[in-house]
Amino acid sequence: MTKPLLNALAITHLAIASIFAAEDTTLPPGVEPAMPREVIEAGLKSHDRALYIKQGWIRDPYITLGPDDYYYLTGTTINADDPREETDPYNIGLWDTSAVGNTVQVWKSKDLIDWDYLGTPFTLQDSMHEEPGNLVWAPEVHWLGSRWALVHCPGGKANFSLTEGAELKGPWTHAMTPETLGRKHDPSLFKDGDTWWMLWANTRLAPLSDDLSKFTAKPKRIDPSSTRPDPKDPSKTIRRIGHEGATMMKIGDKYVHLGTAWSTDLGRQGSYNLYYCTSDKIDGTYGPRKFAGRFLGHGTPFQTRDGKWWCTAFFNGNVPPLEREGIETRDLSETAQTINQRGTTIVPLEVRIQKDGDIYIRAKDPAYANPGPDEVQAFN
């Protein structure tokens, strides 16, 4: 992206953001505060538009409803005492200037509006590795029935850790050895019947033993059945769901495999999107790749207590957030761009079982609902 265009985008965003942040002088310049309570409350009821529910530097936000009827939020975060929260609010979290921290921060809420900070129940001092590295990426917490499990990456320093009891806090135990776990990029967990499965990378899947100490089968790669042109070599095709952020759900009788990719299938070009495919069996075969939502990459689909489906979303771009107006027809292929503010946004999803038993998933907010002109795959 040229400097004049980047500067123009930044100036436009700063001008708009200053209106929203005028009464909140604690925010860095250009950063918008979360929506007011009354706006979020109305949006949770109407289920028709994206809601910017929590301000603060975060990537890969993950929300789950815990056994105590509280929503728990975690994600890739900056360390709580890092001044770049203020001085570098749109740090993209990558490469030598990355602001990604070395702790798992957690918040909980009864209403998705007021969030209680639980501190850092897991740090790399709790790692299963003797040399744990210095970064925590994409943590997820999963309720196992009597205790919590936590997974995170990066791959060579990934952890699979367990609480001793029902509270999300240490001390942490490790049923697996580092050698048994192995390299795991963006690990996630899914329970099917009585068996827990781990997903990782793009996308591999394997079942866990009852005591969670080992895998009981060799990993199997699961891909959608459809193909699309390889952007690096148009004479070839690719089948992958995406390149990271893979998760699994079961809706009706179908297994839903979700994955993340850039709209152009090229790194940090376009919008960061969420896609899915479905199968009658957890390990496949899966059907064609379908579009779930624009700007929803590495988002977590979850249900609120009233059964409504939402997906988390976050800022992932090389320039400050864009205006919503006209975004549906705007080509974003020049660089990584998004409309998501820095912080945690949730976007309403339409999720339904169709007459043939297959699953339909699509963002309901018009700014997220359809592929942009930069999307390389044609969707029905």
- The total of other beta-carbon atoms located within 10 Å of residue 113's CB is 18
| Predicted confidence (pLDDT) at residue 309 exceeds the cutoff of 50 | yes
Compute the average pLDDT of residues 185-210: 98
| Predicted confidence (pLDDT) at residue 167 exceeds the cutoff of 60 | yes
CATH number at residue 351: 2.115.10.20
Mapped to the 3 state alphabet, what secondary structure does 329-371 carry?
HCCCCCCECCCCCCEEEEEEEEEEECCCCCEEEEECCHHHHCC
Local confidence band at 25 (pLDDT 50, 70, 90 cut-offs): low
Nearest C-alpha neighbor of 223 from the set 235, 212, 239: 239
340-367 pLDDT per residue, tens: 999 999 999 999 999 999 999 999 999 9
CB distance 81 to 116 below 8 Å: no
Query: 361: domain range?
Result: 34-369
Q: Are residues 38 and 23 in the same domain?
A: no
Residue 197 lies in a domain: yes
Compute the average pLDDT of residues 3-30: 48
| Predicted confidence (pLDDT) at residue 17 exceeds the cutoff of 70 | no
Residue 376 lies in a domain: no
| Top-confidence residue, 7 or 186 | 186
Residue with tokens 């690990």: 187
Mean pLDDT of the residues in the chain: 94
65-107 pLDDT per residue, tens: 999 999 999 999 999 999 999 999 999 999 999 999 999 999 9
Q: Are residues 65 and 145 in the same domain?
A: yes
Compute the average pLDDT of residues 195-206: 98
* pLDDT at res. 377: 96
Q: Are residues 44 and 8 in the same domain?
A: no
Q: Are residues 44 and 28 in the same domain?
A: no
* pLDDT at res. 1: 46
Q: Are residues 10 and 133 in the same domain?
A: no
Q: Are residues 295 and 328 in the same domain?
A: yes
231-275 pLDDT per residue, tens: 999 999 999 999 999 999 999 999 999 999 999 999 999 999 999
| Predicted confidence (pLDDT) at residue 133 exceeds the cutoff of 60 | yes
| Predicted confidence (pLDDT) at residue 229 exceeds the cutoff of 70 | yes
Share of the chain above pLDDT 70, in %: 93
- Compute the distance between CA of residue 337 and CA of residue 320 in angstroms, rounded to an integer: 8
| Predicted confidence (pLDDT) at residue 20 exceeds the cutoff of 90 | no
Residue 285, preceding bond cis, omega within 30 degrees? yes
Give all strands (DSSP E) within 183-240, no chain letters: 188-192, 195-200, 204-207, 220-221, 228-230, 233-238
Residue 377 lies in a domain: no
- Compute the distance between CA of residue 21 and CA of residue 24 in angstroms, rounded to an integer: 5
Q: Are residues 17 and 121 in the same domain?
A: no
Q: Are residues 240 and 262 in the same domain?
A: yes
Residue 379 lies in a domain: no
Q: Are residues 205 and 341 in the same domain?
A: yes
Residue 328 lies in a domain: yes
Q: Are residues 207 and 253 in the same domain?
A: yes
CB distance 158 to 140 below 8 Å: no
Number of domains in the chain: 2
Residue 181 lies in a domain: yes
Q: Are residues 120 and 193 in the same domain?
A: yes
Q: Are residues 364 and 257 in the same domain?
A: yes
